[in-house]
Amino acid sequence: MRRLSCFLLITVVQLSTMFCFGQRKTIDQRVDSVLKLMTLEEKVGQLNQYNGDWAYTGPITKDGDKQAQIRNGQLGSMLNVITVEHTRQLQEMAMQSRLKIPLLFGQDIIHGFRTIFPIPLAEAASWDLALMERSARIAAIEASAAGVHWTFAPMVDIARDPRWGRVMEGAGEDPYLGSLIAAARVKGFQGRGLGNTDALMACAKHFAAYGAAVGGRDYNSVDMSERQLWETYLPPFKAAAEAGVATFMNSFNDLNGIPATSNKLLQRDILKGQWKFKGFVVSDWGSVGEMVNHGNVKDNYEAALAALTGGSDMDMESRSYRDHLAKLVREGKVKISLIDDAVRRILKKKFEMGLFEDPYRFCNKERQDSQWNNAAHLRESRSMAAKTIVLLKNQGQVLPLPKQGKTIALIGPFVKAVRDNLGFWSYQWPDDSTRIVSLWQGVQNKLGSADKMLYAKGCEIRDTSRSGFAEAVEVASRADIVVMNVGEAHDMSGEAKSRSNIHLPGAQEELIKAIQATGKPVVVLINAGRPLVFNWTADNVPAILYTWWLGTEAGNAIADVLFGDYNPSAKLPMSFPRTEGQIPIYYNHYNSGRPAKTDSDLNYVSAYIDLPNSPKFPFGFGLSYTQFEYGDISLSKTSLRSTDKLVARVTVRNSGSFSGEETVQLYIRDMVGSVIRPVKELKGFKKITLKPGESRVIEFTISVNDLRFYNEKLANDWEPGEFEIMIGGNSRDVKKMKINWAR
């Protein structure tokens, strides 16, 4: 009898959520129908997210019987649960709860799921928005086939501090490029829209300003002006919101003394207020409870109160909502309308994902199997990876290497590495060792055999022993060319992976010196999740490729570039410092009252007495096997009025002997502003392909919208006056012209 009445209740619930007087309801009406049936405890249940047992991406909370809590409707979402079998099992438990509200399964799908793509920072170096949208699309296809509903990506934090390990997850230092990339990634993950079974809900994180953690130390405080926040750190979040991102995640840091997790200004005023964001906000892992450590609340009871009222809808892992929210409502400290708003936002997404119709629609075993080894995705990963490799130096045209007739020594701790090619935020699969293409394998695939390949490891990644140097030098001496693969291990950049010393680790640069001393032509490949410091190498070795962490097809992609089947085209999305003392370093800085005229100017100017101001490699920099020559800028006008459009043209010529791609970059400087303007700001770029000898006129159309900034009142407006228009192949080497723009 109890069973029957339970069955009847569920049927009534289902029908009443779907129909209103026989007519199909809108999602909002359906959300309201469910909400009306919910007890306070069930509402609070929707606001909790727990970790599953497949992976841990934060400190482990060991508590209670999770399965019983799912059956009791005390959970709205889980993270780190994958495969259709496992998600189905847990979803079945949720279907045993009184109201049968389906669970959402979230996961960090940061740069691929089964097919791993280059890390996001590397992808940003391609400046290829279609590429980034596509890699997010493939990640969504594969992850959604394995039962995942929601990715905690894209990470859109602007980062000017390479000590911060999480720079690898973002798009670098520039708000303009970062905003375009944020939108592209959201579109990629969400595909044709929520409700399609190959679309993941995306999540713009970490809201906000997490990239500015003091000292580049993860989880640290952030102190910045509101103008800086609006000008530099918020634009990619705004772009993600405008692209329709389903969710936001807040961040571990405090912003000017208020934890982001309880920050009303960020979450209620800006995000849900000014930007009219209709999705929901999830906390970061445990960040609700961590407000106690911040010293902003006394205990988890106060933390729950502060976070919910501050605009955090879902509590990831801290249990503060579970343990205290219902009590807070009963005591009149939290208004039920705030709880209802949070629950509504979450239920709405569950409806949009189609989970109320069919909670198992992401649990299709055949689909999972078909996406498990997708050869087409691997091919795409390979070609994308090649497009992210940055050629930093190619003195004497050492590269590309010949495919025949030469003996090549491959030396360094990464030559035969497998796992290290994937980088942080990639999951381990049982067949990784046979699936991930090492550099050695990639070169062998290219050459058809290992007959003319020699190998020595030379040293380990981190330790300082030189015991392998002699063998490496001996191997190098038998070769015609040496390719060295050095860098950071996969777990040296990423969450909780800040480094105070960002030089090449261990004895690796010493090994490079020893090999360079043999007199053989040396090519250095640097695998890393951040800009590293490698001055000796940069100054002495003829050829350097920055090979990041490139994913499953790393070895093949590097071989494509090494042997000229792909002519490198990527451009740095972050400035590379000469040493840690220059950090934070970014191209779009203010001029100061005493700017240095040159790198050696020390005449009471803003400079270091022991270091030039300029970076080792500037933002936007990257070479090609061919050369591009830029003509002078020609402008349609030099005096404009507010409704005018300015057309800036430049002729770019491929003066080398390879066909190649160039990213032509437009920067603008507002010479006088009521609020100081940066020395240059990226305002546009165009990717072009030119054959040897070919030239093309590249055109940028500029309007006053491109001149806007946040003024003294934080209004986004432009001011008339003089502007400098700059066009070039990187942020340093630009052609310039001045114009005047009147109201």
Please tell me the distance from the alpha carbon of residue 599 to that of residue 607, in angstroms, as a whole number.
8
Cα distances from 638 to residues 420, 635, 645, 723, in angstroms, run 52, 7, 11, 10
Q: Within 10 Å of residue 260's Cβ, how many Cβ atoms?
A: 28
Question: Pick from 42, 108, 128, 352: which binds ligand BGC (CB under 6 A)?
Answer: 108
Q: Within 10 Å of residue 311's Cβ, how many Cβ atoms?
A: 29
Q: Which residue's beta carbon is nearest to the bound ligand BGC?
A: 57
Least distance in angstroms from the C-beta of 495 to ligand BGC: 5
Fill in the per-residue mask, 600 to 629: x = in contact with ligand BGC (CB under 6 A), - = not in contact: ------------------------------
Fill in the per-residue mask, 651 to 690: x = in contact with ligand BGC (CB under 6 A), - = not in contact: ----------------------------------------
Least distance in angstroms from the C-beta of 318 to ligand BGC: 12
Least distance in angstroms from the C-beta of 66 to ligand BGC: 17
Cα distances from 460 to residues 412, 446, 506, in angstroms, run 8, 26, 7
Please tell me the distance from the alpha carbon of residue 541 to that of residue 519, in angstroms, as a whole number.
10
Least distance in angstroms from the C-beta of 452 to ligand BGC: 45
Contact 554, 436 (CB under 8 A): yes
Give residues 170-209 in contact with ligand BGC (rule: CB under 6 A).
Answer: 205
Fill in the per-residue mask, 275 to 294: x = in contact with ligand BGC (CB under 6 A), - = not in contact: ---------xx---------
CA contacts within 13 A on the Cβ side of 103: 37
Q: Within 10 Å of residue 376's Cβ, how many Cβ atoms?
A: 9
DSSP codes, 280-332: EEEPPTTTTTTHHHHTSSSSHHHHHHHHHHHT--BEES--HHHHHHHHHHHTT
Contact 569, 660 (CB under 8 A): yes
Please tell me the distance from the alpha carbon of residue 58 to that of residue 316, in angstroms, as a whole number.
10
Q: Is 432 marked active-site?
A: no
CA 364 to chain centre: 29
DSSP codes, 161-227: -TTSGGGGGS--S-HHHHHHHHHHHHHHHHTT-BTBTT-PBPEEEEETTGGG-GGG-TT--B---HH
Contact 233, 157 (CB under 8 A): yes
Least distance in angstroms from the C-beta of 52 to ligand BGC: 11
For helices 320-330 and 336-352, the axis angle rounded to 10 degrees is 130
Query: How many positions of this chain bind ligand BGC (CB under 6 A)?
Result: 9
Q: Which is nearer to ligand BGC, 54 or 372 (CB)?
A: 54
Instruction: Determine which helix (DSSP H) or strand (DSSP E) holds 107, and give its type and residue range.
Output: strand 104-107
Question: Pick from 113, 127, 150, 152: which binds ligand BGC (CB under 6 A)?
Answer: 152
Please tell me the distance from the alpha carbon of residue 462 to that of residue 508, in angstroms, as a whole number.
8
Q: Which is nearer to ligand BGC, 205 or 499 (CB)?
A: 205
Express the helix, strand and coil content of the chain in percent, nearest 5 each: 35, 20, 45
Least distance in angstroms from the C-beta of 151 to ligand BGC: 9
665, two tokens? 């970059």
CA 717 to chain centre: 29
Coil, strand or helix at 668: strand
Residue 157 within binding range of ligand BGC, rule CB under 6 A: no
Least distance in angstroms from the C-beta of 57 to ligand BGC: 3
Q: Which is nearer to ligand BGC, 78 or 180 (CB)?
A: 78
In 3D space, the residue among 42, 49, 51, 47 whose CA is nearest the CA of residue 71 turns out to be: 42
Least distance in angstroms from the C-beta of 130 to ligand BGC: 25
Contact 115, 551 (CB under 8 A): yes
Residue 495 within binding range of ligand BGC, rule CB under 6 A: yes
Would you give the DSSP letter of residue 704?
G
Would you give the DSSP letter of residue 32?
H
Fill in the per-residue mask, 54 to 83: x = in contact with ligand BGC (CB under 6 A), - = not in contact: ---xx--------------------x----
Q: Which is nearer to ligand BGC, 110 or 384 (CB)?
A: 110
Q: Which residues contact 694 (CB under 8 A, 6 or more apart)?
A: 653, 654
Q: Which is nearer to ligand BGC, 284 or 670 (CB)?
A: 284
Greatest alpha-carbon pair distance for the chain in Å reads: 91
275, two tokens? 């930007």
> Which of the residues 128, 161, 284, 706 is marked catalytic?
284
Least distance in angstroms from the C-beta of 321 to ligand BGC: 17
Q: Which is nearer to ligand BGC, 79 or 184 (CB)?
A: 79
Least distance in angstroms from the C-beta of 537 to ligand BGC: 32
Contact 541, 524 (CB under 8 A): yes
Least distance in angstroms from the C-beta of 289 to ligand BGC: 13
Cα distances from 79 to residues 82, 284, 425, 580, in angstroms, run 9, 12, 14, 36
Q: Which is nearer to ligand BGC, 79 or 648 (CB)?
A: 79
Least distance in angstroms from the C-beta of 41 to ligand BGC: 25
Pairing of β 19-20 and β 23-24: antiparallel
Fill in the per-residue mask, 204 to 243: x = in contact with ligand BGC (CB under 6 A), - = not in contact: -x--------------------------------------
Residues in contact with ligand BGC by CB under 6 A are 57-58, 79, 108, 152, 205, 284-285, 495
- Catalytic amino acids? 284
